[in-house]
């Protein structure tokens, strides 16, 4: 995975979170070592939102969003308070997040439009540990006020 | 003139966000209709007068491109301006949509002002009349009404 691709992924992700959710995730470029592990301590309830694409740039993208962060982006997205949202809206926002990030990324890496996006999916994970994905090659990490946001890209 | 608006997106959350965005834009809305995919949209179009349609592209059952083709091939529906609001932002896809007769294109993520701008332009072009742009948005008016 080259630096340009990493940079495009970080930019696409930041643009979506800033524009739609008024949140500014901080990209963490280096693979986290033991010394940085503390920054990724919060585990537990997460949302996994994934999407695959087929064509000249085939692959899958999986977001692991801490539940606290998912709730925050859902309330900001809908402009309502926490007690006014439900689980379905949280999952829906997570799906729309991965859809927007990968869709805007494809617009930059595949101007011919040959790569087709599939329909996104999202699942609640009661006990997700961030350490599960730390060894992934296509790992992108963001620090947020609501816990670490992970994105894993797997080329096919 | 109030406009009947149909929003087509498989995400109920996104439909809600678009509806709110249109509401605060100040466009006079008659009825607001929603569909989760192209087929559902066609059923609504069969039974209701729609002035403008805002649609996603990437949807199950019938996607936005297929929906646009159906609308442009139907004598009764082809007058309806269609605006795509989508993550699919490749030049080729936008060119294909333009060729098929899409009236406007907004890419996600979007600023509310972008939807407002495209919607006003499309409505004015389609209905040959000036759509009154409020001097301030409805959201601003609501804020201004608040006393602290």
Task: Give per-residue pLDDT as tens, B80-109.
Answer: 999 999 887 677 778 888 899 999 999 998
Task: Give per-residue pLDDT as tens, A87-125.
Answer: 999 999 999 999 999 998 988 888 777 888 899 999 999
- B58 to A103: CB separation less than 8 angstroms, yes or no: yes
- A107 to B17: CB separation less than 8 angstroms, yes or no: no
Q: Which domain holds residue B106?
A: 3-145
pLDDT at A108: 83
- A107 to B107: CB separation less than 8 angstroms, yes or no: yes
Residue of A nearest to B93 (CA): A113
pLDDT at B147: 37
Sheet containing strand B82-86, strands side by side? B29-35, B3-8, B52-55, B82-86, B104-107
Residue B26 CA: distances (Å) to CA of A11, A104, B13, B117: 32, 28, 21, 11
Query: What residues of A are in contact with residue B60 (Cβ under 8 Å)?
Result: 119
- Coil, strand, or helix at residue A61? strand
Residue of B nearest to A22 (CA): B111
Q: What pLDDT band is residue A4 in, cutting at 50, 70 and 90?
A: confident
CA distance B107 to chain A (A): 8
Task: Give per-residue pLDDT as tens, B32-87.
Answer: 999 999 999 999 999 999 999 999 998 999 999 999 999 999 999 999 999 999 88
Give ipTM to 2 decimals: 0.82
Peptide bond into B109 cis (omega under 30): yes
Return the number of CB contacts < 8 Å for A and B: 77
pLDDT at A38: 44
Task: In whole angstroms, give the CA distance from residue A71 to residue A142.
Answer: 17
CA distance B13 to chain A (A): 6
Q: Look up the CATH architecture of domain A3-19+47-56+66-147.
A: 3-Layer(aba) Sandwich (3.40)
- B111 to A19: CB separation less than 8 angstroms, yes or no: yes
- A112 to B89: CB separation less than 8 angstroms, yes or no: no
Query: What residues of B are in contact with residue A77 (Cβ under 8 Å)?
Result: 13, 17
Task: In whole angstroms, give the CA distance from residue A58 to residue A82.
Answer: 37
Specify the number of domains making up chain B: 1
Domain map of chain A by residue range?
Answer: 3-19+47-56+66-147
Query: What's B102's domain CATH number?
Result: 3.40.50.2300
Q: Does residue B109 contact residue A100 with C-beta atoms inside 8 Å?
A: yes
């Amino acid at each position: 995975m080259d630096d340009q691709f990493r940079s495009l992924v970080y930019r696409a992700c930041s643009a979506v979170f800033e524009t739609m959710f008024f949140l500014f995730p901080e990209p963490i470029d280096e693979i986290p070592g033991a010394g940085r592990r503390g920054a990724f301590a919060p585990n537990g309830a997460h949302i996994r939102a994934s999407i695959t694409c087929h064509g000249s740039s085939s692959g899958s993208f999986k977001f692991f969003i801490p539940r606290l962060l998912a709730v925050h982006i859902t309330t900001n997205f809908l402009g309502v308070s926490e007690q006014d949202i439900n689980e379905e809206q949280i999952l829906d926002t997570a799906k729309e997040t991965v859809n927007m990030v990968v869709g805007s990324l494809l617009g930059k890496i595949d101007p011919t439009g040959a790569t087709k996006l599939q329909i996104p999916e999202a699942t609640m994970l009661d006990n997700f540990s961030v350490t599960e994905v730390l060894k992934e090659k296509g790992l992108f990490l963001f620090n947020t006020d609501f816990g670490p946001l992970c994105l894993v890209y797997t080329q096919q | 003139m109030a406009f009947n608006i149909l929003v087509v997106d498989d995400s109920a959350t996104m439909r809600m966000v678009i509806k709110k965005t249109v509401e605060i834009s100040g466009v006079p809305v008659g009825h607001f209709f929603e569909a989760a995919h192209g087929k559902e949209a066609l059923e609504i179009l069969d039974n209701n007068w729609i002035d403008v349609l805002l649609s996603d592209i990437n949807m199950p059952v019938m996607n936005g491109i297929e929906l646009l083709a159906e609308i442009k091939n139907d004598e009764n529906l082809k007058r309806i301006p269609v605006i795509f609001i989508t993550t699919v932002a490749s030049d080729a896809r936008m060119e294909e949509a333009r060729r098929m007769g899409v009236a406007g294109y907004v890419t996600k993520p979007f600023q509310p002002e972008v939807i407002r701008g495209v919607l006003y332009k499309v409505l004015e072009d389609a209905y040959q009349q000036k759509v009154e742009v409020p001097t301030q948005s409805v959201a601003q008016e609501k804020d201004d009404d608040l006393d602290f």
